[in-house]
Amino acid sequence: MTELTHRRADGAVHMVDVGSKPPTRRVARAEATLVTRPDVVGLLAEGRLPKGEAIGVARVAGIMAAKQTPQLVPLCHPILIDAVEVDFDVREDRVVVTAEVATTGGTGVEMEAITAATVAAISLYDMVKAVDRLATIEGVRLVSKSGGKSGDWVRP
């Protein structure tokens, strides 16, 4: 195991200095899944939930969340985000939310992608809870990342 770079020699946590790292194109993709009943997925897909059109609201929530990640995750650097894409794969009893975040900089966007996917899924939950309080959010995970010193990685 490599030594964690978010610790000082005395063991205290600190924010890593990324100022001397060369800027590279970095992209991360993450997903989160809202699991609910098939009839609720139908209402969601048709835009007929009591709270309205959920997909558009959740897409904007995910984009906004990616931009707020440094305010939510203590050791994340505020970075310039080049792009955020939030997509929805509507299936029989679930909606898989995928978020892809890109930057050109000295640090990655894995946390921004995970935050975007998670908040988009939370927003979907908020939209469906009136018809299914048993809905769950599952499978929050990084799917892939590219760029930076550690190179490319794809979940097996």
CATH assignment at residue 91 = 3.30.70.640
Average pLDDT of span 90-112: 97
CB 28 within 8 A of CB 66: no
Residues forming beta bridges with residue 4, ordered by sequence position:
none
Checking if the pLDDT of 88 tops 70, the result is yes
Please indicate, yes or no, if residue 18 is contained in any of the structural domains: no
| Range of the structural domain that residue 141 is part of | 24-147
Residue 122 resides in a domain: yes
Q: Is residue 9 over pLDDT 50?
A: yes
More confident of the two residues 18 and 98: 98
CA distance 104 to 102: 7
Q: What is the mean pLDDT of residues 8-32?
A: 87
pLDDT (average), residues 35-50: 97
Q: What is the mean pLDDT of residues 5-23?
A: 80
Just list the catalytic residues: 126
Domain count, the chain: 1
Classify residue 31: in a domain, yes or no. Answer: yes
In a domain, 4, yes or no: no
98 within some domain? yes
Q: Classify residue 102: in a domain, yes or no.
A: yes
Token pair 């050109």 is found at: 104
Tell me what the mean pLDDT of segment 58-73 comes to: 98
Give percent of the chain above pLDDT 90: 81
Structure tokens at 85: 């894409």
Burial 116-130 (b: 16+ CB within 10 A, else e): bbbbbbbbbbebbbe
> CA-CA distance, 134 to 125, in Å (whole number)?
10
CA distance 123 to 113: 15
Q: Are strands 83-90 and 94-105 parallel, antiparallel or unpaired?
A: antiparallel
pLDDT tens digits along 54-63: 999 999 999 9
Judge whether 65 lies within some domain: yes
Q: Please determine, for residue 30, whether its predicted confidence score (pLDDT) is greater than 90.
A: yes
The stretches of the chain forming alpha helices (DSSP H) are 38-46, 54-72, 110-128
What is the structure's pLDDT at 8? 79
